[in-house]
Amino acid sequence: MRDNQTFTLIKPDVVSDGHLGEIVQSIQDAGFKIIAIKLTRLSRVEAMDFYGVHKEKPFFGKLIDFMISGPIVPMILEKENAIEDFRQLIGATNPALAEKGTIREKFGTSITKNAIHGSDSIDNAEIEGSFYFSKRELFV
């Protein structure tokens, strides 16, 4: 992945609520180009691996149950200043605290069911993106 790219994951609440198209459109309208995208599902083992950094946290079990509850949509996005701009677009982790007009404020319903993820650094975008996409899918 390049410096001007980020990783996002649209979560199962959005897909099951029928808001997937609307959110993809709002991401594109904000100037992000979709480099890679897929509809997929995580097994429990995969989810525990992907969220391994949170395994000691009290919310870990709830997070895993939610993330395996239905299809998800990981994406690699490209835009100048992608990491920061995307985190502004999605808003704070807790939808109740997310700024008005952000994706989490509009579509998130709890800190667990918070609609969407955005990587917090280039290094994490690289790690998270390569969990879901092969080199061939990223054209590298």
Closest CB to ligand CMP among residues 96, 140: 96
Closest CB to ligand CMP among residues 82, 117: 117
Closest CB to ligand CMP among residues 45, 140: 45
Catalytic residue among 1, 98, 117, 118: 117
Whether 54 is catalytic is no
Among 3, 38, 59, 123, binds ligand CMP (CB under 6 A): 59
Count other Cβ atoms within 10 Å, centred on residue 71: 16
Among 111, 122, 127, 138, binds ligand CMP (CB under 6 A): 111
- For 10, the 3-state DSSP assignment is strand
Count other Cβ atoms within 10 Å, centred on residue 107: 23
- CA R_g for the chain: 14
By CB under 6 A, residue 8 contacts ligand CMP: no
Strands (E), the chain: 5-10, 33-37, 73-78, 116-118
Site stretch for ligand CMP (CB under 6 A), options 32-40, 72-80, 110-118, 121-129: 110-118
Q: Which of 75, 81, 79, 115 is nearest to 95 (CA)?
A: 115
The residues carrying an active-site annotation are 117
